[in-house]
Amino acid sequence: MTDTRGPQPQYEGYATGPLPGEREPAPGPSGPYHPPQAYQAPGGGTQGGQQRPGQGGSTLGGAQGVGGAQATRKPRTGARTTPRTRKARLRVAKADPWSVMKVSFLLSIALGICTVVAAAVLWMVMDAMGVFSTVGGTISEATGSNESNGFDLQSFLSLPRVLIFTSVIAVIDVVLATALATLGAFIYNLSAGFVGGVELTLAEDE
């Protein structure tokens, strides 16, 4: 067969040159490899840790310039520093009558004791001020006659009688308060079944 393509060019670079593994390194100072940077370093620094042509300074100086720029970065002024107060909306769906009865019983007992103590202290103060003797003398003169001395207020409002009367009132208060509170719990449970109960909004302390 006859070759009709004519003369072909010769690639002397591959024919006469050395192989890739036998090539001599390029002349110049050898150093570590620095990959290209996505962003340029600030003014006065270096790009990729290498010295730019025509500028003085070393790689260490460029790294220090980048570190100084990062250290002087200012925080954002629009960041929120005040914590938000969390709130929760709850609903009292049911009140336990047994627990309401126990709490109301203890509170009514405490109220009864305070009532008895307050009555005793008030009687002592009024007796020390002479109120009973003055008022009792006036009443005895107004109600007295030639045959009787009239009504004796001091003997009627003596301390034992006052304490007994106050104790009876305190016991009645304990019974009534406990019964009314328990009945109120039942009524609340019935009404909460229709309207859903009382809604409360709770918030944390600031």
Say if residues 49 and 64 touch (Cβ distance below 8 Å).
no
Closest C-alpha among 181, 175, 131 to residue 157 = 131
Is pLDDT larger for residue 137 or for residue 57?
137
For residue 160, the number of C-alpha atoms closer than 13 Å in the C-beta half-sphere is: 1
Query: Position of tokens 């719990």?
Result: 185
Looking at per-residue confidence, does 177 or 157 come out higher?
177
145 confidence band (pLDDT: 50, 70, 90):
low
Element holding 202 (H helix, E strand): strand 198-203
> Can you tell me the mean pLDDT for 73-77?
58
Tell me the C-alpha to C-alpha distance, in Å, between residue 130 and each of 32, 45, 163, 166. 109, 100, 19, 22
pLDDT at 133: 79
Give the pLDDT band of residue 186 (cuts 50, 70, 90). Answer: very high
**Roughly how many angstroms between the first and final C-alpha of the chain, as a whole number?**
100
- Tokens representing 51? 């010295």
What is the structure's pLDDT at 86? Answer: 84
Task: Determine phi and psi for 169, rounding to 5 degrees.
Answer: -65, -40
The model carries a pTM of 0.52
Beta bridge partners of 91: 199
Q: Which of 20-34, 166-180, 188-202 tops mean pLDDT?
A: 166-180
Average pLDDT over residues 173-192: 94
With H, G, I as helix, E, B as strand and everything else as coil, classify residue 58.
coil
